[in-house]
Chains A and B, each alone.
Chain A
């Protein structure tokens, strides 16, 4: 809209022109409110924000412009005239105000109350802000579709032939449908009863199977119980037999031990005296004093005797060597003497 306003050609200053922004149409109210009224008076009758009829707008020049009665410029320049006009206008306004002021008004409300508008007519009327309007509609008939082109039937040629059909010659639906329907219904019922019977048979078989399973399970449990009992008995029997066997073995063992003991006793009763005698013979039983004498004293005595004998032998040897020495010296002296005698003698 604004663009449109700017596009408007700019008229030269000389001629009269009026430009206005485009505006949306405002909703007209049924009643004018007070504020609007005052504004209107100030604006000197021209409605602000509302379109006025352009035909009566004072700002728009109408009629032939050549014959336009142009106001003399000199008349406006007269200050006295201007002043008088202004005064007249002011007086008019003042008079209107005074008139309004003089109108009788409702008395001011008492303190704590306020005035309220009330309808006093005989019939209560609903007062609304909306302008009452009437809608009227009119709908044209829709265009009808083009009807399908009728089937093209070529013009009849040849000779007509006709057949006379009597009653009962043609297919009678009500009669003919009966066997077909009977077959259909019969077949369906047969199939249905077949399926129902099958289901019933299955259910019966299931029930029988269940009863059989019930018996089978109970019997199976009973069998297993008896088997278990049998196994326990067998184990018990084996254990008892094992125990008996152990007892028997123990008895045999004991009797053997007793026999062995008796035999050993019999055997050993003769053995002791002979052993003692042979031991005594081999000198295993001895007198300790004698043994001490033999082992301790006799050894010492022999040693001492040996020492004494060795000393005696040594003394004798010494004496022998002394004697030999003496004899040797005597011999030599005798020899010397013999020699001397021989010499002397002769």
Chain B
């Protein structure tokens, strides 16, 4: 029989791992308040709810407005693993939005997140690497990472981490940073590490290492160091692979290194021409363009030019490619090959 008496107890908490949400406009400020709580369980619950709520874009801007970011950064140093994990996850989700990245950069989050690279918990490091990768995607963020002198620690972590997923995230971050600034990475021996990763068993890691190497080799110092430590031979070996990304990045890196005379001769002696001519018929336009560029570089060597004159028909085929960039660079290549002094 129903009774009209109202219970004095609160309704039962359905999921004890999550904080109950306040209604509407009070939702995020309430969670923000709970982040500062002394009670560990309250903090954990608030972070659990927040990490779910932040997937909605409107909650992200709201959270940034009420100042969640500095609190999250403070929680990154918490003694509890769950709190650290969830706060890094929250900062990862926030870093997925432009406003979030700007807020993170304003509060100089890169150093705080870099401190988590030594965290004993794998999941915390996983989110830390992913967050760093997202921050680095903006040029401003990449500059801040380079200025904070985090490249040596990233390169060190690239060697010490065991998991392939972690290495991929670090290589993504390195790629973004190296597009901005390559010379500081050369000092900390990034090129040697990248060279060793060209022979890694994972296809993704090989592709990303070749991409990072291409970024480094756009700098003059990078080209010279690449010739000195012998990066050409492993790059030429990658040309025999079938993966699109690996081929595109390896041909790009070879083209970048071959701009210098020393690099040209090293690439020519490694026997790259045979592979590069084959790759001008690859189905991916990026591979075609990069291999044509590499061939253009090599064609400036007299021996290589005479060798390429035999394959000039293949290069001429590419001039009428449906991709305009391929056609343009193919005509440049043909011009260089048929040049007579």
Contacts and interface: CB of A to CB of B under 8 A. Distances in A.
A151 interface: yes
B297 A218 contact: no
A217 B261 CA distance: 19
A221 B325 CA distance: 13
B218 A224 contact: yes
Interface in B25-81: 55-57
Contacts of A194: 57
Interface string B270-299: 000000000000000110011001001100
B1 interface: yes
A119 B17 CA distance: 77
Q: How large is the interface on B (under 10, 10 to 19, 20 to 34, 35 or more residues)?
A: 20 to 34
Contacts of A333: none
Interface string B138-177: 0000000000000000000000000000000000000000
A191 interface: yes
A220 B293 CA distance: 10
A217 B252 contact: yes
B255 interface: yes
Contacts, number: 49
The listed residue with most A CB atoms (<10 A of its CB), out of B55, B218, B259, B329, is B259
Contacts of B296: 222, 225
Contacts of A151: 1
B259 A228 contact: yes
Contacts of B55: 195
B212 interface: no
B325 A224 contact: no
A221 B56 contact: no
A176 B48 CA distance: 34
A209 B218 CA distance: 18
A153 B252 CA distance: 87
B204 interface: no
Given A151-B1, A195-B55, A221-B293, A215 B325 contact: yes
A191 B255 contact: no
Contacts of B286: 210, 214
Interface of B is mostly: helix
Contacts of B248: 214
- Chain B CB within 10 A, most for which of A153, A210, A218, A228: A218
Nearest to B329: A218
A224 B259 contact: yes
B285 A221 contact: no
Interface range, A side: 20 to 34
B56 to A, nearest CB: 7
A198 interface: yes
A210 B57 CA distance: 25
B302 to A, nearest CB: 14
B206 to A, nearest CB: 18
Given A191-B56, A195-B55, A198-B57, A222 B260 contact: no
Given A224-B256, A225-B259, A225-B296, A218 B290 contact: yes
B199 interface: no
A228 B260 contact: yes
Nearest to B137: A209
A221 B57 contact: no
Contact of A218 (B1, B57, B289, B300): B289
A221 B297 contact: yes
Which of B57, B248, B290, B293 is the most central at the interface, judged by chain A CB atoms within 10 Å of its CB?
B293
Contact of B290 (A191, A217, A224): A217
B214 interface: yes
A132 to B, nearest CB: 62
Given A217-B252, A218-B289, A218-B290, A225 B297 contact: yes
Contacts of A228: 259-261
Interface string A191-205: 100110010000000
A223 B222 CA distance: 17
B245 to A, nearest CB: 10
Contact of B218 (A214, A220, A225, A229): A220
Contacts of B261: 228, 232
Contacts of B285: 214
Contacts of B260: 228
Given A191-B56, A195-B55, A221 B255 contact: yes
Contacts of A221: 252, 255-256, 259, 290, 293, 297
Given A214-B286, A217-B252, A228-B259, A222 B325 contact: no
A217 to B, nearest CB: 5
Nearest to A224: B259
B332 interface: yes
B288 to A, nearest CB: 10
Contacts of B56: 191
Closest 9 CB pairs of A and B: A224-B259, A214-B286, A221-B293, A221-B255, A218-B289, A228-B259, A217-B252, A225-B259, A218-B293
Given A217-B290, A224-B256, A225-B300, 4 more contacts: A221-B256, A221-B290, A225-B296, A232-B261
28 contacts: A153-B1, A191-B56, A194-B57, A198-B57, A214-B248, A214-B285, A214-B289, A215-B325, A217-B214, A217-B252, A217-B256, A218-B289, A218-B290, A218-B293, A218-B325, A221-B255, A221-B293, A221-B297, A222-B329, A224-B256, A224-B259, A225-B296, A225-B297, A225-B300, A227-B259, A228-B259, A228-B260, A228-B261
